[in-house]
Amino acid sequence: MHHLPRCRAAGFGLVLTALVALPAFAQLDFSGEWAPLYHEDGPERLPGPELGDYTELPINAAARMAADTYDADRISVVPEYQCRPHGGDYSMRGLGNLRVWREIDQASEKLVAFHTHLLAWDSERTIWMDGRPHPPDYAPHTWQGFSTGVWEGNMLTITTTHFKTNYMRRNGVPRSDKAILTEHWTRHGDYLTVVTVIEDPVYLTEPLVRSDNWYLDPGQNIGVFGCEYAPEVPRPEGTVPSHLPGQNPYLREFADWYGLPFEATRGGAETMYPEYKQKIANEYHPPEKCSRYCKCTNLFDCNVTSK
Amino acid sequence: MTMNGRFAVAHLLRAASPLLGTLLLATALSFAQPPQINPDSVQLTMAPVQGSVYVLMGDGGNITVQIGKDGVALVDTGFAPLAPKAMAEIRKLSSGPIRWIVITHVHTDHTGGIAAMAKLGMTGESVGPPRIVAQSNVLNRMTGPQPGNQPKIPEEAWPNDEYFLPTKDFFFNGEAVVVYHVPDAHTDGDSIVFFRRSDVLSTGDVFTPGSYPIIDLARGGSVEGEINALNKIIDITVPAKYQEGGTMVIPGHGRLCDEADVVEYRNMLTIIRDRFRDMIKKDMTLEQVKAAKPTLDYDAQYGSTTGFWTTDMFIEAVYKSLSGKK
Amino acid sequence: MRTRLLALLAIGSAALLDQSLFAQGVPPPSGIGAPPGPQAPKSGQAAAPVDFTGYWVSVVSEDWRWRMVTPIRGDFASIPLNAEARQIGNAWDPAKDTAAGEQCKSYGAAAIMRVPGRLHISWADENTLKIETDAGTQTRLFHFLPATILGVGPAPYSTERTWQGLSFANWERPVRGSGFPGFGLGATREGAHGKSLEVVTRQLRAGYLRKNGPPYSENTVLKEYYDLHKERNGDTWFTVTTVVDDPKYLTEPFVTSTDFKKIPEGAGWSPSACVAK
């Protein structure tokens, strides 16, 4: 019988011992209080996306035009936009703390639904787990849509339809009411990973797949969001601020600030694949050092001059 | 085929199966006759909306149905051949007489069933034919000579309770029903109908969430009037929490909506109007405007390259409406 | 004596590991109705509930301007670095790294999955899953530790610190509820059958979390969770949730999730060397 050399065996044993801490069990309940982690796209998700930043979105020309002509004044001038919530898809970018709970049918002890409540606009969603079909086409659309879920092993796959028209990014990139959202929720220990897949035949050339993380925070307290619209800018009734095509003066700012080639900031599927890195290598001229959002991991350390 | 019939067919195409729609369009274009409809091939769907109000879909335009102890009120009537089928669906909800029919505008997919529904809707409790309410321009267009040598519309299909003031109202089934004239929008005779307690607004073809609005220039429609009408709808509707629910909106065609959906539609048309104004100010011709693709960001959502009402035709209508050019 | 002590240490470790790595596909006995006796452990490949093998491409739908281009000097947005780490990051000198032969610092295990590129995943042997990256031409080995290895034979794993470190993997086990379902005394809940791949990596050489120099130390513990998902349009993806735990330079664990789409065999495979900038 071979014997392990002493020091190697000892070290090896210690390594193996340490590995006992692996969480080995499938997680199958998402109930609890979840706080979003902003370790990806912090500046875009927290203070908000910059005008003209369409990177990492597989958008088409129609979406680009809608975003180029978008005027953020619309949110205040159109009173009905002041309290307009994020759509169910955008909400899962973690723009607010989340509570999840289960609904169990008392007679059968079966899981009927997961419910979610998000801080932003007190948005609530029901994820039906009882096999019911989605409503017919003529049914009303809502901000959160209509969701059903099925288990795939330890992953909960959710399909949502019947969204109202909304945005894919809150600098004007639109998302139509024909979109379908698929989510995959997995829980590993105290981390919840939500993969979102947005299919939008109106504005995307291929599905937008991204993933965001949350951590369990049982001590959190989600307050009331509250919103009441209050017109404060005197304008003729029915005014809808927009830039005329080709006349938005802000579209190049983003490229200029970060030294990016303008075409790269326009988004599109081509810009999301590895070969694009080589394509723009010679056109990227970053500034000497960071001067915008150099530090941004939570609501309190993310402003434009944070360093 | 007359423009009126063409508009009607365009709407029916959206409600019926693609195969049926193609057949109807081919028939309509070939014979210059009102569309031949086989009721057996049309599926009608009745759905509850809110309060006392339901919507019947699949019969031309959406038909709003209000029921209660006083009887039945309708907004629009669909096509004549489908009236018995529509009536059968209504009778599943109420055995009461039809006492009110409000007509939103003159197109046959909304008026074609007036005579049939008025007759079929009478019961032993009726004290006469239903009151058929419409803005006076609807009556004028229905009683005058019909374009394209179409046969005269029989008197029993005319509105018998026309109004010419900005509003008309009545109380029925426990709630106020307010009819608003929204001038020169889809046509010059448009009405929108508000069921106050049920909190439901029927808009006729002023609002059709699945397509660009049809601006019937020949019948007095206009882009500015259409935008004003949408703003009027937004004035009336009140959403529940966070811009959702509250006043439900039954469009002329398409799915059930609320204020937020109307806001998106109004925004679209206002933005397009602003772009056209700018181009017209620069003296751009219609062809130059089309080449500039001023509706590109909305075409996939609302437009069409085939069928009766195409994106090109919408652009043409907006251009002519705003420029005054023929 | 010393031999006996070492054997005891190895056996003790094996016993501790029994709950995690050695019970591939074999749940622990728990409560009434549990299955009888342990079965022979399966290899990592035999126990795989899903198939990660094949070629994959990263689709950069997040952190685009920190991944698709070299981030601006001092731009550490979204990374929970402490002050010391920021200072180190601000002193980033790619020329110096290249001269020192350390141009692969941003291709280490804690960062490699965020580097845009393609992966080739295959089984090196029945207990080793191999991930090759074309970006930086790196190789990661995930070891599924068989029971027989402990105390028998030479230690197959080096203790040297490397860019990719030493990784041990585990197929997440199903959770069995306690009770006897036939009598309504509890049952295994739906959603209990695991399909995730869990990997823990240590023995890392100090590197960068991104190309512009935010550091991670050699004491970093990296945990990853790989989840496969198929979409409505037929595409297959996997998402890897990466937890970088480095108390030396991070104020909290740095958690990201990266998405890869399956592609045809070898499509676009283009190995390239590490570059420091």
What confidence score (pLDDT) does residue C187 get? 57
What confidence score (pLDDT) does residue A218 get? 95
What confidence score (pLDDT) does residue C149 get? 42
The tens digit of pLDDT for each residue in C126-162 reads: 999 999 999 999 999 999 975 434 444 445 677 799 9
Helix (H, G, I), strand (E, B) or coil at C184: coil
- Distance in angstroms (rounded) separating the CA atoms of residues A51 and A243: 13
- Assess if residue C26 is contained within a domain: no
- Distance in angstroms (rounded) separating the CA atoms of residues B283 and B281: 5
**Which residue in B228, B213, B136, B214 sits closest to B182, CA to CA?**
B228
Query: Number of Cβ pairs closer than 8 Å across A and C?
Result: 274
ipTM: 0.91
Contact yes or no for A122 and B241 at CB 8 A: yes
The domain spans of chain A are: 32-44+70-216
- Distance in angstroms (rounded) separating the CA atoms of residues C48 and C42: 9
Q: Is the pLDDT of residue C252 over 90?
A: yes
Residue B151 Cα, gap to closest chain A Cα (Å): 35
DSSP percent split of chain A into helix, strand, coil, nearest 5: 20, 25, 50
Interface test with A, best of C2, C59, C238 (most A CBs within 10 A): C59
What confidence score (pLDDT) does residue C190 get? 63
Supply the CATH number for residue B69's domain: 3.60.15.10
Is A26 or B277 the better-scoring residue by pLDDT? Answer: B277
Cross-strand partners of A300: none
Q: Is the pLDDT of residue C20 over 70?
A: no
- Assess if residue C273 is contained within a domain: no
Write the DSSP symbol of residue C209.
S
Average pLDDT over residues C32-42: 61
What confidence score (pLDDT) does residue A1 get? 39
The tens digit of pLDDT for each residue in C175-192 reads: 666 665 555 555 566 666
Q: Is the pLDDT of residue A4 over 50?
A: no
Taking all residues of chain C, what is their mean pLDDT, rounded to a whole number? 84
What confidence score (pLDDT) does residue A40 get? 97
Q: Is the pLDDT of residue C271 over 60?
A: yes
The tens digit of pLDDT for each residue in A54-69 reads: 999 999 999 999 999 9
Task: Provide the residue range defining the domain that includes B304.
Answer: 3-323
Helices B3-15 & B18-31 angle (0-180, nearest 10)? 170
The percent of residues above 90 in pLDDT, for chain C, comes to: 70
The tens digit of pLDDT for each residue in A144-155 reads: 999 999 999 899
Chains B and A: 3 or more CB pairs within 8 Å of each other:
yes
Taking all residues of chain A, what is their mean pLDDT, rounded to a whole number? 90
Q: Is the pLDDT of residue A52 over 90?
A: yes
What confidence score (pLDDT) does residue B34 get? 52
Identify all chain B residues contacting A61, using CB atoms and an 8 Å cutoff: 296
Q: Residues A96, A119: contact at Cβ < 8 Å?
A: yes
For B203, the token pair is 């808009």
Residue A69 Cα, gap to closest chain C Cα (Å): 23
Q: Residues B128, B163: contact at Cβ < 8 Å?
A: no
Residue A248 Cα, gap to closest chain C Cα (Å): 23
**Which residue in C150, C146, C199, C140 sits closest to A8, CA to CA?**
C150
Number of domains in chain B: 1
Contact yes or no for A80 and B259 at CB 8 A: yes
What confidence score (pLDDT) does residue A279 get? 97
Chains C and A: 3 or more CB pairs within 8 Å of each other:
yes
What confidence score (pLDDT) does residue A304 get? 87
Fold that domain A32-44+70-216 belongs to in CATH:
Lipocalin (2.40.128)
The tens digit of pLDDT for each residue in B169-223 reads: 999 999 999 999 999 999 999 999 999 999 999 999 999 999 999 999 999 999 9
Which segments of chain B have a pLDDT < 50? 1-33
Identify all chain B residues contacting A237, using CB atoms and an 8 Å cutoff: 231
Task: Provide the residue range defining the domain that includes C200.
Answer: 42-173+194-263
Residue B297 Cα, gap to closest chain A Cα (Å): 4
- Distance in angstroms (rounded) separating the CA atoms of residues C237 and C220: 28
The percent of residues above 90 in pLDDT, for chain A, comes to: 79
Interface test with C, best of A2, A12, A254 (most C CBs within 10 A): A12
Identify all chain A residues contacting B271, using CB atoms and an 8 Å cutoff: 69, 240, 242
Phi, psi of A256 (to 5 degrees): -65, -45
Q: Is the pLDDT of residue C18 over 60?
A: no
- Assess if residue C186 is contained within a domain: no
- Distance in angstroms (rounded) separating the CA atoms of residues A107 and A110: 8
Q: How confident is the model at residue A95 (pLDDT cuts 50, 70, 90)?
A: confident
Contact yes or no for B242 and A165 at CB 8 A: no
Contact yes or no for A176 and B254 at CB 8 A: no
Q: Residues A74, A101: contact at Cβ < 8 Å?
A: no
